[in-house]
Amino acid sequence: MEDAEFDDILDDWFIESLKTYKDLHVYQLEHPTQVIEWTSEKTVCVAGYSLSKNEILELRLPLKLFADENKGLCAERDFKVAHGGFTDGPVRRLRHIPGTRCVVTNDGLSSDLQVWDLGGDDSDVIRRTGSIAGRRNVSERGSRIAARLSSPPQILHGAQSSDIQLTELTSGRTLYKLETDSADPLSSLQFVTDAVFLAGCSNGSVCVADTRTSAAPQLSPPPASSGDSVLWWADASVGPHPSSCRVIRLSSSGQAVVSDLRKLGGGAVCQAQLDVQTRCCNLDHVRVSWAPMLDDCISVSGFGGVVQIYTTCGWSMELQERQPLFQHRGHVVSSQQTDDSVPVFTTAHIWHPERPRTLLSAASDGSVHVWDWVDPEQSAAGSPIPRT
Amino acid sequence: MPEINVTPLGAGQDVGRSCILVSIGGKNIMLDCGMHMGYNDDRRFPDFSYITQNGRLTDFLDCVIISHFHLDHCGALPYMSEMVGYDGPIYMTHPTKAICPILLEDFRKITVDKKGETNFFTSQMIKDCMKKVVPLNLHQTVQVDDELEIKAYYAGHVLGAAMVHIKVGSESVVYTGDYNMTPDRHLGAAWIDKCRPDILISESTYATTIRDSKRCRERDFLKKVHESIERGGKVLIPVFALGRAQELCILLETFWERMNLKAPIYFSTGLTEKANHYYKLFITWTNQKIRKTFVQRNMFEFKHIKAFDRSYADNPGPMVVFATPGMLHAGQSLQIFKKWAGNEKNMVIMPGYCVQGTIGHKILNGQRKLEMEGRATLDVKLQVEYMSFSAHADAKGIMQLIRMAEPRNMLLVHGEAVKMEFLKGKIEQEFSIDCYMPANGETATITTNPSVPVDISLSLLKREMALGGSLPDPKKPRTMHGTLIMKENSLKLVSSEQALKELGLNEHQLRFTCRVQLQDPHSDPDTLHRIYTHLKSVLKGYTIQHLPDGTVMVESIVIKVSSSAEDSNAKVLLLSWSYQDEDLGSFLSTLLKKGLPSGLC
C-alpha cells in the first residue's frame, strides 16, 4: 500500500465531493437492482433482476441521515436489512401500495403481477401472497404498475395503453379498463390525483384518464420532432400548486419536452436538448423525474453511469442545449465492476419525498448511493427553491 | 450420535458481551470472556453458573480462547480467572496478549478510581491472569492436550484479532470473533482455508446490515476537519495509539498535501512512545503489502505532522491534535479538551467507543455541561463528532466467509430469532446447511456425522473385490467382512487370519455332526451310492463327490454310512459340516431324514 493507495481515494471527485455534497453514502449490494421504491419515510425496497432466483430486500436508511439535530453524535451509517425474501424470476418493476405493507412486482417477461407482504415486527421474511393476471398472456415488455392510497387497495397496471386496468387487490376484480384504440407499449404509469392517471407510451404519446368515468382519455401525440426509432419516457409532477401540474417527456436522443398537464392538447410549454450520452441508453433503465420538493427541477439517469439534475427555469420553445445543474458521478468513479469492457450504468434513482435534495441511485455493478447535493447556484437567480 | 453443544452465556436479549461455551468430543472450551459495557452491576459479567454452581472453573474447562482485545470480548477475563477461579491455559495471539492488559488496566482505573466501584478486579489480578496466557501464532496448530488442537487465523478487524479453528478427533468448530471481509487500510481482510468445520460460529450483530463504504467514512472525517480548520477552529482527536491513529494520520497528511493546507497537525508525545512499541508488534502481524507502507511511513517522518508540546494548545489559530488517551478519561487529551471545550468553533472527533464513566462517553451522549474536579462545571460548546471506523463484516461478508470455510452447519449468536429468519433462509438455500440461532443461555446441539478413516489391508481388499460382481459403486455401499483392529491412534481393517496371526491366536474350526437314522436294507456301500445319486439329482449346481474312502462330500459336508447295531435294516448316517456350511448342512440332514426315494438304483 503506497501513498498511491491513499491518493487513490483523494481523487478529484472525492475532493470535490467535500463541497458538492452534504451527505454521501456508498453501499454495495450483492446483486444489482433496477428498482428503488419508498415503503415508508425511512425504508426502501430493492430487488435483483437476474433471470433466475433473486432477493427482494426492504432496507432501512442510516440513522445518521435523519439525525438532523444531533447528527454529529450519530455514528450509524449503515443500511439495515429490515426484511428480505426470495423471488423466482427477475424483478423489473416494483410498486408499494400506500397504507399497506404490500408491494406488487412484475418480472418484465409477462404482464402478470406478483403480490408480496413485506412483514411486520414478528418476522423479517417477505412472502409472496398472491398474483394478479395481466390482460395479455404473452407480453414482451412487462407491465407498468401504479398505486395510490385507497381503501380497499387497488392496482393500476398494463403493458400497453390498450391493456391498462384497475384491479382490486384482495378480490382480483377489475374495476376499470381504459378504452382506447391505440396499443402502444407503456414506458410510465402513475396516478396524478386519486382517480386521474397518466400513461406515457414509449412512442412519445401521453394519455390522461379518470378511473371513475368511462370517458375517452385525453391524448397528447408524440412531440413533433420525434423520429421513428426514438423512445420516450415521461413523468408528471403532482402537487397542490397549479404550476406544478406538468408533464415532462424525455427521448432517447436527449430531447426534453414540458407540457401543462391540464392542457395536454395545447402542445409543449418549453423544451431543451439535454447533455446525455444518447448512444448508451438502456431501455429498461432510463428514469426521468420531477423533484418533489424543488420547483422546476428534474433528474435524469440511465444514459451511462451518471445521474443528472437540470433546472427547467429559462427553458423556451427553442430546442437549446442545456447543461445540468448537478451531476452525480459517484457510480462511475467508485465502480466495483469486475468486467471493464461493459461500463457501469445507472439502473434507477428516486428522490426523497420530503428532504429537498436527497436522492438514492443504483447502478449495474450493484452499487446504491444515498446523496444530498449542494446547489452550486445558491444565490443566483433561477436556482430551484425548496417549497415551504 | 456424536454431537457438539454450543451455549452463548448471558441472559435474555442482551447483546454486547461475548462469552460462548463449546462442548466438543468431551472437551469444554470457553470462547471469549467479555464484559457487558452497559451494566454497572454484576450483570456485566458473564453468567458462569451454567458451567458450575459454585467453585472454580479449572476442572470444567479445558481452555479459554480470546479472539481480540476489545473489552466486550476480554473485559471479564481477570474476573473469571482470579475472582471466580481458573488456572488452565488462556490462548490469544501475541498482539492481543500485549494490548489486553493495558486496556484492562485503563478500564479498571476508570471503573474503580473514577466510579468508585468495589466488586471489580485489581491490577494484581490482571497481572496474575496474564501469566496464564499462552500466545498463538497464525496458522500454527497448537496441541492443548492429546486430543484437543487449536489454530488461529487472521481476522482483520483490529490488530491481533483472530478466528480460531478447534479440533477434537474428526470434529471441529471455527469461531470467528469479530472480523471483516473487505481489506482495511492497515489490516487486510480475514482469511481461512476450506477447513470444512462441523460448525462455523459467528456474531449476528452485523449480519443484517449493509456497510457504508470506508471512502465515505473518511470523506466525512476530512470534511469535518476541513470545515473546522476553515473557520479557524481547533480539532482534537483522542486516540489509542495504534493502527487506526496511524491510518488517520496518513489520511490527513495526504489531504494536507493535496489541498496545500497550512494549519499545523500535531500528535502528543505519549502517542509516539506507544506508537513505537506497537509499531514493532504491528509489522510482524500484518501482511507484506502493509508492512512495506509502515516501514516507509515511520511515525516521525511526516511532513505535516509534528510532535506536540503542551504549550501549543494555547496558540491562536486552527490546528489538529492527536492525543491519548482515547476516551478523554485522563491525561493529555483531557487537558486539551478542557482548554478547547468552551469555543464553538472547535471540534472533538471521537473515533471509537467510550466506556461509561469517561468524559468521552458523556459527551457522546449529548451532555453539554460536565462536572469536573473541585465542583467546577465545564460548558461543552465545541462540536462533538462520533465517527465509527471499525471494520466489521456485514451480510455480504458472512456469505463470503461461509463460501471460504465451507462449514457443515452455521451458528449465529446474539441475534433475535425473528429478525434473523431471512438470513437463515438465505444461508440454508445457498449452502444447503442448517443455521442455528441459540438465544443467550440456550444450548444448541448439533449432531455431527464424523467420517472415521480406516486403513484396509491390500490382501483383504483384493479378496473382497475378487468376490465378483462389478466394481464397487460409490453410491451403493457393499457389505464386506473383515476384522477391525484399533491400535494406538490407528484403525485397520484386515482379514480374520491376519488378525489372529497378529494376536497370536489359533483359528478354531467349528464342525457340527448329526446322526440320521435311515431304513435301508442295502449294504453300506450301496446305501452310500444311493445317497450320492439322490443328492446329485436334488442338489444341482453343488459339488458332490463320491470319494474312494467311503464318504460322500457335498461342498465341505461329509456323509458316512454305517449299519445300525440294533436293527439290521437300519443305517446310521453321520453328517458333519463346518460352520461356514451350516445352512446346507441343516438342509441335508432334514432332506435325508425324509428317507431315500424308492426308484433309486
Asked if the structure places residue B486 within a domain, the reply is: yes
Q: Which one, of A219, A201, A98, lies nearest residue A149 by Cα?
A: A98
CATH of the domain at B360: 3.40.50.10890
Going by the DSSP 8-state scheme, the letter that residue A33 receives in this structure is B
B271 in Cβ contact with B324 (< 8 Å)? yes
**A4 confidence band (pLDDT: 50, 70, 90):** very low
Residue in B185, B205, B215 to test binding to A, most A beta-carbons within 10 Å: B215
**A1 confidence band (pLDDT: 50, 70, 90):** very low
Percent of chain A with pLDDT strictly greater than 90: 60
The position carrying cell 390498450 is A162
Residue in B180, B206, B212, B288 to test binding to A, most A beta-carbons within 10 Å: B212
CA distance B437 to B13: 12
Q: Which one, of A222, A221, A232, lies nearest residue A287 by Cα?
A: A232
Q: Cβ of A84 and B423 within 8 Å?
A: yes
Residue B301 bears catalytic tag: no
Residues B371, B415 within the same domain: no
Residues B134, B225 within the same domain: no
pLDDT tens profile A66-107:
887 778 888 889 999 999 999 999 999 999 999 999 999 999
CB atoms within 10 A of CB B523: 12
How close A61 gets to chain B, by Cα (Å)?
10
**B449 confidence band (pLDDT: 50, 70, 90):** confident
**Residue B316 neighbours by CB under 8 Å, 6+ apart:** none
User: Per mean pLDDT, which of A16-30, A181-195, B385-399 is the most reliable?
Assistant: A16-30
The position carrying cell 453343488 is B542
Percent of chain B with pLDDT strictly greater than 70: 92
- Residue A383 clears pLDDT 70, i.e. is over it: no
Residues B159, B11 within the same domain: yes
A26 DSSP β-pair partners:
A369
How close B104 gets to chain A, by Cα (Å)?
25
**Chain A contacts of B254, Cβ < 8 Å?**
3, 6-7, 10
Percent of chain A with pLDDT strictly greater than 70: 89
Q: Cβ of A86 and B217 within 8 Å?
A: no
Q: Which residue has the higher pLDDT, A376 or A369?
A: A369
Reduced to 3 states (helix: H, G, I; strand: E, B; else coil), residue B299 is helix
Amino acid at B463: R
* Average pLDDT for B339-346: 95
Asked if the structure places residue B249 within a domain, the reply is: yes
Q: What pLDDT does residue B464 have?
A: 79
Residues B118, B87 within the same domain: yes
The CA dihedral of A59, A63, A67, A71, to the nearest 10 degrees, is -140
Minimum CA–CA partner of A79 in chain B: B210
* Option in A10, A79, A85 nearest B210 (CB): A79
Going by the DSSP 8-state scheme, the letter that residue B82 receives in this structure is I
Residues B107, B241 within the same domain: no
pLDDT tens profile B344-356:
999 999 988 888 8
**Chain B contacts of A60, Cβ < 8 Å?**
none
Q: Cβ of B422 and A84 within 8 Å?
A: yes
Of the residues B366, B386, B406, which one is the last residue of a structural domain?
B386
CATH of the domain at B9: 3.60.15.10
Residue A49 grid coordinates: 433482476
Residue B589 grid coordinates: 440332514
Q: Which one, of B172, B116, B165, B114, lies nearest residue B142 by Cα?
A: B165
Q: Which residue has the higher pLDDT, B241 or B487?
A: B487
Q: Cβ of B386 and A72 within 8 Å?
A: yes
**B331 confidence band (pLDDT: 50, 70, 90):** confident
Residues B136, B168 within the same domain: yes
Lowest mean pLDDT among A157-161, A208-212, A237-241, A290-294: A237-241
Strand extents, DSSP E, B414-543: 434-436, 444-447, 455-456, 483-487, 490-494, 511-519
Asked if the structure places residue B475 within a domain, the reply is: no
**B38 confidence band (pLDDT: 50, 70, 90):** confident
Amino acid at B399: M
**Chain A contacts of B302, Cβ < 8 Å?**
none
Q: Cβ of A6 and B254 within 8 Å?
A: yes
Q: Cβ of A79 and B364 within 8 Å?
A: no
How close A192 gets to chain B, by Cα (Å)?
34
**A244 confidence band (pLDDT: 50, 70, 90):** low
Minimum CA–CA partner of B393 in chain A: A78
* Average pLDDT for A228-243: 79
3-state secondary structure B331-375: HHHHHHHHHHCCCCCCEEEECCCCCCCCHHHHHHCCCCEEECHHH
* Average pLDDT for B39-46: 82
Q: What pLDDT does residue B471 have?
A: 67
- Mean of per-residue pLDDT scores for chain B: 88
Minimum CA–CA partner of A31 in chain B: B396
The CA dihedral of B165, B168, B171, B177, to the nearest 10 degrees, is -20
Cis peptide before B325 (omega within 30 of 0): yes
Residues B260, B341 within the same domain: yes
**Orientation of helix B421-431 relative to helix B395-405, angle to 10°:** 30
Q: Return the number of CB contacts < 8 Å for A and B.
A: 118
How close B439 gets to chain A, by Cα (Å)?
16
- Residue B294 clears pLDDT 80, i.e. is over it: no
Q: What pLDDT does residue B550 have?
A: 87
Asked if the structure places residue B30 within a domain, the reply is: yes
Reduced to 3 states (helix: H, G, I; strand: E, B; else coil), residue A264 is helix
Residues B91, B191 within the same domain: yes
B65 in Cβ contact with B151 (< 8 Å)? no
Residue in A77, A125, A368, A374 to test binding to B, most B beta-carbons within 10 Å: A77
Q: Cβ of B429 and A62 within 8 Å?
A: no
Asked if the structure places residue B476 within a domain, the reply is: no
Q: Cβ of B420 and A70 within 8 Å?
A: no
Q: Show which residues on chain A lie within 8 Å of chain B, measured between beta carbons.
A: 1-3, 5-7, 9-10, 14-15, 17-18, 24-30, 55, 59, 62, 70, 72-81, 83-86, 121-126, 334
**Which entry of B82, B171, B203, B247 is annotated as an active-site residue?**
B203
Asked if the structure places residue B490 within a domain, the reply is: yes
Minimum CA–CA partner of B252 in chain A: A6
pLDDT tens profile B78-111:
999 999 999 999 999 999 999 899 889 988 988 8
Q: What pLDDT does residue B472 have?
A: 64
Residues B303, B363 within the same domain: yes
Asked if the structure places residue B257 within a domain, the reply is: yes
CA distance B482 to B465: 13
Residues B334, B374 within the same domain: yes
Residue in A18, A53, A64, A125 to test binding to B, most B beta-carbons within 10 Å: A18
Q: What pLDDT does residue A380 have?
A: 40
* Average pLDDT for A17-35: 94
User: Per mean pLDDT, which of A335-339, B13-17, B569-573 is the most reliable?
Assistant: B569-573
As for the ipTM of the complex, it is 0.90
Q: Cβ of A123 and B255 within 8 Å?
A: no
What would you report as the CA-atom Rg of chain A, rounded to the nearest whole angstrom? 21
Q: Cβ of B212 and A78 within 8 Å?
A: yes
**Chain B contacts of A27, Cβ < 8 Å?**
210-213
**A271 confidence band (pLDDT: 50, 70, 90):** very high
Residue B514 grid coordinates: 448329526
B156 in Cβ contact with B184 (< 8 Å)? yes
- Residue B24 clears pLDDT 60, i.e. is over it: yes
CA distance A260 to A242: 10
CA distances from B284 to B159, B161, B193, B280, B281 (A): 11, 14, 21, 7, 6
CA distances from B435 to B174, B193, B198, B551 (A): 14, 21, 12, 70
Q: What is the secondary structure of A75-124 as a DSSP string?
A: ----EEEEEEEEESS---EEEE-TTSSEEEEE-SSSS-EEEEE---TT--
Q: What pLDDT does residue B211 have?
A: 92
CA distance A228 to B25: 75
Question: How many domains are there within chain B?
Answer: 4
CATH of the domain at B552: 3.30.530.50
User: Is residue A348 within a helix (H) or strand (E), and if so which, with residue range?
Assistant: strand A346-351
Q: What pLDDT does residue B279 have?
A: 65
Q: Which residue has the higher pLDDT, A251 or B269?
A: A251
User: Is residue B71 within a helix (H) or strand (E), and if so which, with residue range?
Assistant: helix B71-74
**B232 confidence band (pLDDT: 50, 70, 90):** very high
**Chain A contacts of B386, Cβ < 8 Å?**
72-75
Residue B187 grid coordinates: 489490516
Reduced to 3 states (helix: H, G, I; strand: E, B; else coil), residue B201 is strand
pLDDT tens profile B509-542:
888 999 988 888 888 888 889 889 999 888 888 8
Residues B154, B182 within the same domain: yes
Q: What pLDDT does residue A135 have?
A: 77
How close B212 gets to chain A, by Cα (Å)?
5
* Average pLDDT for B233-238: 96
**Chain A contacts of B422, Cβ < 8 Å?**
81, 83-85, 124-126
Residues B12, B97 within the same domain: yes
| Domain range for B169 | 3-210+391-447
* Option in A7, A17, A59 nearest B219 (CB): A17
Residue in B181, B185, B209 to test binding to A, most A beta-carbons within 10 Å: B209
Q: Which one, of A53, A10, A45, lies nearest residue A29 by Cα?
A: A45
- Mean of per-residue pLDDT scores for chain A: 87
B489 in Cβ contact with B455 (< 8 Å)? no
**Chain B contacts of A124, Cβ < 8 Å?**
208, 418-422
How close A205 gets to chain B, by Cα (Å)?
41
Q: What pLDDT does residue B581 have?
A: 84
* Average pLDDT for A150-166: 91
Minimum CA–CA partner of A72 in chain B: B385
Asked if the structure places residue B599 within a domain, the reply is: no
Long-range pairs of B485-488 with CB within 8 A, sequence gap ≥ 24: none
